[in-house]
Structure 1
Amino acid sequence: MRLLLVSDTHLPVRAKRLPAELLDEVERADVVIHAGDWVDAATLDLLEGRARRLIGVFGNNDGPELRERLPEVARAELGGLRFGVVHETGTARGREARCAERFPDLDILVFGHSHIPWDTRAPGGPRLLNPGSPTDRRRQPYCTYMTLVVTDGVPGEVTLHRLPRRH
């Protein structure tokens, strides 16, 4: 099972459209996970129309229309692993302990908000993955997203994809 992890698309505020490379990944993915801050419903409509399966949550920049259509926290079993999705997890300091306490039943938690790629494991808790942002790199050198392949309940390597500066 191939998963595409994305967050913080912020359309059309930070970019006019999603990068073509990311849209190609949507076509290849079995499941697309979006960890919030879509900003516009058109992006949700686009991904719903292209993805085989879409799991998403709303973020702090998402208005009433998106909050009506998306949950704050999503959970799903994918490829034999228990996934959770949430936009915010708080500050980096103490993140692993907070997430282990809040989500003790998960194998993997996908989150966003910071636009900073993140891949750690909470002791006794879930693996924490933040794909960064494909449209707003902020203080990061690149815009990013992640892919992950799950086989028979075992997560493969998480790949952080860097997007060209102009897209």
Structure 2
Amino acid sequence: MRLLLMSDTHLPRRARELPAPLLAELPRADVVVHAGDWVDTPTLDLLTARSRRLLAVYGNNDGPELRARLPEVARAELGGLRFGVVHETGAAQGREARCAARFPDLDVLVFGHSHIPWDTTAPSGLRLLNPGSPTDRRRQPHCTYLTATVTGGALTEVELHRLPPRRTR
């Protein structure tokens, strides 16, 4: 099972559209995961229409229309792993222990908010993944997203993809 993970798209504030390399990954993904801060509903509509399956939450920058359509926390069993998605996890310091305590029933937690890619494993075994942002790199050198594979009940081939800089007019 191939996963495509993204967060913090902030459209159309940070970019006019999702980057072409990210859109090209959609047909290859069995599940698209979005960890919130969409900002606009057309992006949700696009991913809903073009994804085989969408697992998504709202973020702190998402208004009432998105909050009416998306949960604050999403959960799903994918290929034998228990996944959760949430937008915010708090400060980086203590994140693994805090998330393991909050989500003791998960194998993988996908989160966003910081725009900083993150891949760690808590002592409990909970894998924490933040794909960064494909449209707003903030203090990071690149805009990013993640792909991963679930095979035989294990998360494999977790890969951070760096996007080329956007062209400016």
Range class of TM-score, shorter chain: over 0.9
Residue aligning to 2:152: 152
Cα deviation, 1:37-95, whole Å, max 9, x if unaligned, reads: 00000000000000000010000000000000000000000011000000000000110
Q: Deviations over 1:117-160 (max 9, x none)?
A: 00001111410000000000000000000000011101112100
- Distance (whole Å) between structure 1 residues aligned to residue 68 and residue 27 of structure 2: 26
TM alignment of 1:7-156, pairs within 5 A: 7-156=7-156
Q: Which amino acid in 1 is paired with 2:137?
A: R
User: What TM-score does the superposition give when structure 2 sets the normalisation length?
Assistant: 0.97
Contact kept? 1:105, 1:125, Cα under 8 Å: no
Q: Distance in 2 between matches of 1:95 and 1:125?
A: 13
Aligned length: 167
Q: Matches of 2:33 and 2:64 in 1, distance apart?
A: 20
Q: Is there any run of 5+ residues in structure 1 with no aligned partner, and where?
A: none
In the alignment, the residues of structure 2 paired with residue 61 and residue 91 of structure 1 have an alpha-carbon distance, to the nearest angstrom, of 18
Q: Measure, in 1, the Cα distance between the counterparts of 2:123 and 2:73.
A: 21
2: CA distance between counterparts of 1:123 and 1:66?
34
How big is the shift at 1:26?
1.1
Q: Give TM-score scaled by structure 1 length.
A: 0.99
Partners of 1:125 and 1:72 lie apart in 2 by: 23
Gaps of 5+ in 2: none
Percent of paired sites with the same residue: 78
Runs of 4+ more than 3 Å apart = none
Q: Check whether the contact 1:103–1:125 (CA below 8 A) recurs between aligned residues.
A: no
Residues 106, 125 of structure 1: 8 Å contact kept: no
